[in-house]
Structure 1
Amino acid sequence: MRRTAAAALLATSALLLAACGGSSAADPSAAASPSASGADCPAASPAPVPTAANPALPTVAGAAGTKPTFTFPASPAPTELTVQVLTTGTGPIVRTCDQLVVDYLGQIWNGAVFDNSFDRGEASVFPIGVGQVPPGWDKALVGLPVGSRVLAALPPAEGYGTAGQSQAGIKGTDTLVFLIEIKAAYSVDAKAPGGAIPQPAPSTGPQVTGDLTAQPTVTVPAGSPEPTEPTAVVLAKGTGPAVVPGEVITRYAMVDWTGKAVESTWDAGVPTTIPVGTKGDGSITYPLQGIPVGSRVLLTLPGSPANAATGQAAIPARAVVIDLVAQATVAKQ
Structure 2
Amino acid sequence: MDTSGDTTGVLDEALERLHVSGPERVGRLTNHAPMVVEALASHGQSGAVHRWLDLYEAKLEEFPSSVESVTDANWPAALGDSRRIADWIAYFTRAIGEGSWRDLLATWWPRLLPGMYGGSTHPVVRVGHAVRALIEGGGSAPRLTELAHGLGYWAARHHPVSGIALLPGVHEMGDVVEALDAVPPVPDPHGGFPARLALVEWLPAWASEVTDPDAARERLAELVRAATHRYATHGHGNETMLVHAATAPSAVLRTLPALPRALWAPSLHAAWLASAAVTAMYAPSEPVPYVPPGRITAEEVLERALAHGDEHVIKLTDTALDIGDDEQALAAALRAIELSEPIS
Do both proteins adopt the same fold according to a TM-score greater than 0.5, normalized to the shorter chain? Answer: no
Structure with the larger strand share: 1
Q: Which structure: larger Rg?
A: 1
Report the TM-score, using the length of structure 1 for normalisation.
Answer: 0.23
